[in-house]
Amino acid sequence: MTTSPPDAAVHVRDLKKRYAVHEKEPGVLGSLKSFVNRKTRQVEAVRGVSFDLQPGEVVGFLGPNGAGKTTTLKMLSGLLHPSEGTARVAGFDPRRRETAFLKQITLVMGQKQQLIWDLPALDSFLVNQAIYEIPDQQYRDTMREFTEVLDLGGILTKQVRKLSLGERMKCELAAALLHRPQVLFLDEPTIGLDVNMQEAVRDFVREYNRRYGATVMLTSHYMADVTALAQRILVIDAGTLVFDGDLAALAGQGSGGKTIRVQLRQPTPAHALAAYGQVVSTDGLSAELTVPRAEVSARAARLLADLDVADLTVEDPPIETVMAELFGANRPGTAVTGPEPEVPA
């Protein structure tokens, strides 16, 4: 095992990934042409990304569709080989997929499953126990803990194909963490889950991080996952890291203003409130206003002086708004907020 650099759980320098994509004109003629004269095009999915994650950090990895998130996580798990650059995870070179490395990491992809479809989840857990050489006592302890935190009682012995999406995702997570990895790559772990199930997954990840001091790198289209779990945010856009900092700093990236929420003791019409900022919503007694960042203090002071105010708070805009502003509206196909969760699983 080679350990470098010291201390970092994940160390990434100038990591690049190019995919070779074969191009083919449509139709039979296109197929024939490509058979004799095959054309390939390079897609630069990741264009020189660098960062370090310290042990125990929970980091949100955000970016629009096609930005390079999954490609990066696959390189860090050793499923893809980088075209250039260096990656070290838990001190290992992921490309080599050494057993000791695989025991230290996990990759959970919300869209893929590792459980055996026709068997109960418990059988997949036993397979993982054997693969990861988990001692019996540790297996029993971890199973007891996960069953409690994820509320798995009653579903472990059901055929996986008969589980609801939410139940299956909980079992997927348990299977992926049974060997108690130190570095977790979670790619859309809550996708498609209803709000309650999303929260159950978040609670589990938070508890696992607290209990085992694991490092977590998480992608999600649900900003609630990110704001609830991550202390630090990395934003990737078109294969390039464009932001690395905390949530508050990311919120400050938006050109839009801050939000003033005000509770009034006397009903006040919207046109009167408009003197203090752009009225986003009001029912007469409570209102949400957007004000330019530089004028927040002055506008809030005027509001307090002019009106009978019961309560007033100043907030950064929701992270969804900032991300939509950075990547949304005028960037077709780059929406960062995903679909609404489906009906309860």
For the CB of residue 214, give the shortest distance to ligand ATP in the complex, in Å: 22
| Residue with smaller CB distance to ligand ATP, 71 or 215 | 71
Residues that bind ligand ATP (CB under 6 A): 19, 21, 43, 45, 63, 65-71
For the CB of residue 220, give the shortest distance to ligand ATP in the complex, in Å: 10
| Residue with smaller CB distance to ligand ATP, 71 or 106 | 71
| Residue with smaller CB distance to ligand ATP, 167 or 188 | 188
| Residue with smaller CB distance to ligand ATP, 60 or 68 | 68
| Residue with smaller CB distance to ligand ATP, 71 or 77 | 71
For the CB of residue 169, give the shortest distance to ligand ATP in the complex, in Å: 17
For the CB of residue 66, give the shortest distance to ligand ATP in the complex, in Å: 4
296, HSE (Cβ side, Cα atoms, 13 Å)? 16
For the CB of residue 218, give the shortest distance to ligand ATP in the complex, in Å: 13
For the CB of residue 185, give the shortest distance to ligand ATP in the complex, in Å: 12
For the CB of residue 155, give the shortest distance to ligand ATP in the complex, in Å: 28
| Residue with smaller CB distance to ligand ATP, 91 or 110 | 110
195, HSE (Cβ side, Cα atoms, 13 Å)? 2
| Residue with smaller CB distance to ligand ATP, 65 or 263 | 65
